[in-house]
Structure 1
Amino acid sequence: MVTTSGLFRIAGKLLLLGLLVGLAIVVLYPLLWMGISSLKTNDEILSSPFAMPQALDFGSYARAWDRGVGQYFFNSALVTVVSVFLTTLVSAWAAFGLSRIEIPFSRIFLLLIVGGLMLAPAVALVPLVKLMQSWGIYNTYWALILLYTAFRIPFTTFLIRSYMVGLPREVDEAAIIDGAKTRQIFWRVILPMSKPIMASAVILHVIFAWNEFLFALVFVGDDSLKTLPVGLANLSSRATTDFPAVFAGMAIAAVPMIILFILGQRFFIRGLAEGVGK
């Protein structure tokens, strides 16, 4: 016989299951609709936008690629990869120094880094434009790379430091006894032990850089240098009569992020759980 408390537990589990199913539908349905629409013709999208395509038309992907999506994809990949490398390297070094080494005024440095999280990008647009122009890198890849790196270092440093603080001090002492120097301790001991949080930091930065729109719109003017978010916006305005190509471009932009998260979700969840929870 099921007791009252048992009924409440079953009802709670069913309610939670229903919420999770509803959330999955909300997240997955737009992606599925976008992918299905990219395989339709214009007439099918306009006449029956929610119906399945009568025949799969993959030509929309070729048209989208030829209309600039291929170049936009390369630009986003280049800016993302370089900024990820710079951000994680600098942030890991900073986190190591703030968590594993006794340095003067470390608390002040930590407060300054955390204070960087409060700076809104939109507020700094005008001085940043002047700065990039004075450096001669306005309307170049480096403008976006430096901006993405600078604005993500505070958060990434704070995230990695939260993880490194919880690592046992005994490993540092054992490495010092074995004759290891500070840089060797970082590269050979602490960094390998910090793989989960490093993976989380990389995934979060990739998602940010891949989808960032404001800086990519303001600091890059040439169409050949535009990243996917701005390029797809331009494609949508130009290809007003070719909706399948627009949806195909959106699908091309979304697939790498989906694959990245699926491959790295184990490290991502573990790194955030162990890092933020400390």
Structure 2
Amino acid sequence: MNKKSTPLELAGVTARQLILILITAMAIVPGYLMITGSLKTQEEFLNSPWSLPMNPNFQGYSAAWNDQFPTWFRNSLLVTVSAVLFTIVMAATAAWGFAHWKWRGRDTVLGLLISLMVVPPVVLLIPLFTLGAKLGWISTFRMLILVYIGLMLPFSIYLLTNFFRAIPVSLIEAAEIDGASDFRTFRSVVLPLSGPPLITLTIVNLLWAWNELLLALVFLQSDEKKSLMVGITGFQSRYSLSIPTIMAGMTIATLPLFITYIFGQRYFITGLTAGSVKGE
């Protein structure tokens, strides 16, 4: 027989549900205003920002896309995809070294690497800008890509190291008995088992790199090199009186992230909890 819940337990459950509803509303409402606002005229939005668009208007999308939006979109795609791919490859190989090879100072180096996650990017802004200016790399994609890789690596290595350590040792030993080298074991045994954390890392890093503004604003100063978020920032000042145009630009910028998450969500939670149980 199920035990009856006490009033205190019921109050706790109700409070948790209300908090979840509130958080969900806080996440959904901005998206609702963004999408509905992009389909209204300026007058309709100002008169009734919360209502649904009775006669959808796509002039905002036309105005947004006819600006430099396609160029900004391509720039963001190039920087984000390049940075994330290099980060995943480097993080996977480094994490395999931390998880599988035993060498003096391994845990110390890993601890120092993990500690870099707490360093805010703004602290590194001036030194990185000075270095980029000396190299002549300001307003170049390679400088921003290298900075993104450096900022994404610590968390990526940490997550993958924990997962690799959770892989049963018997699988690794079986591969070694069969004569597989470390690289062959990594490629043929470890990587095929690492789909969920790799996809999770890809999604998390894509979200961060695509939405990042401060570093892109500093390092990509040329109009033709601006990222999407930097472009939209200036876009808002130029179209400050055209709310549908701004909303349309933001909606288009959000679509790639939404599609990426939809296709990868089945692996997302699995990847976040990967490595929580150590392999035998």
Same fold (TM over 0.5): yes
Q: Do residues 50 (structure 1) and 50 (structure 2) align?
A: yes
Q: Which residue of 2 is the match for residue 209 of structure 1? A: 209
Identity %: 35
Displacement after TM superposition at 1:105 (Å)? 2.3
CA deviation vs aligned residue, 1:133-184 (integer Å, no higher than 9, x gap): 2333221111111000011111110111111111111111111111111111
Q: Do residues 139 (structure 1) and 139 (structure 2) align?
A: yes
Q: Do residues 26 (structure 1) and 26 (structure 2) align?
A: yes
**Mapping of residues 2-151 of structure 1, within 5 Å:** 5=5, 12-151=12-151
Displacement after TM superposition at 1:108 (Å)? 2.6
Change (3 A) 1:49 1:132: same
d(CA) in 2 for partners of 1:21, 1:47: 28
Displacement after TM superposition at 1:76 (Å)? 1.1
Q: Which residue of 1 is the match for residue 259 of structure 2? A: 259
Q: Which runs of 5+ in 1 are unaligned?
A: none
**Mapping of residues 190-229 of structure 1, within 5 Å:** 190-229=190-229
AA at the equivalent of 1:267:
Y
The alignment covers a number of residue pairs equal to 278
d(CA) in 2 for partners of 1:99, 1:23: 37
Give the root-mean-square deviation of aligned CA atoms: 2.0
d(CA) in 2 for partners of 1:19, 1:109: 40
Displacement after TM superposition at 1:83 (Å)? 0.5
Displacement after TM superposition at 1:59 (Å)? 2.2
CA deviation vs aligned residue, 1:13-49 (integer Å, no higher than 9, x gap): 4443333222222211110111000000111122222
Q: Which residue of 1 is the match for residue 244 of structure 2? A: 244
Displacement after TM superposition at 1:5 (Å)? 2.5
d(CA) in 2 for partners of 1:71, 1:277: 45
Q: Counterpart of 2:273 in 1: which secondary structure?
A: helix
Contact 1:34 1:247 in 2 (8 A): yes
Displacement after TM superposition at 1:241 (Å)? 2.3
For structure 1, which segment, 20-29 or 241-250, has the greater mean C-alpha deviation from structure 2 after superposition? 20-29
Contact 1:99 1:165 in 2 (8 A): yes
AA at the equivalent of 2:186:
F
Q: Counterpart of 1:34 in 2: which secondary structure?
A: helix
- TM-score between both structures, scaled by the size of structure 1: 0.93
Q: Which residue of 2 is the match for residue 172 of structure 1? A: 172
AA at the equivalent of 1:237:
S
Change (3 A) 1:22 1:118: closer
Q: Counterpart of 1:104 in 2: which secondary structure?
A: coil
AA at the equivalent of 2:193:
M
For structure 1, which segment, 80-89 or 120-129, has the greater mean C-alpha deviation from structure 2 after superposition? 120-129
Q: Counterpart of 1:67 in 2: which secondary structure?
A: coil
Contact 2:199 2:267 in 1 (8 A): yes
Displacement after TM superposition at 1:9 (Å)? 5.3
Q: Which runs of 5+ in 2 are unaligned?
A: none
Change (3 A) 1:276 1:200: farther
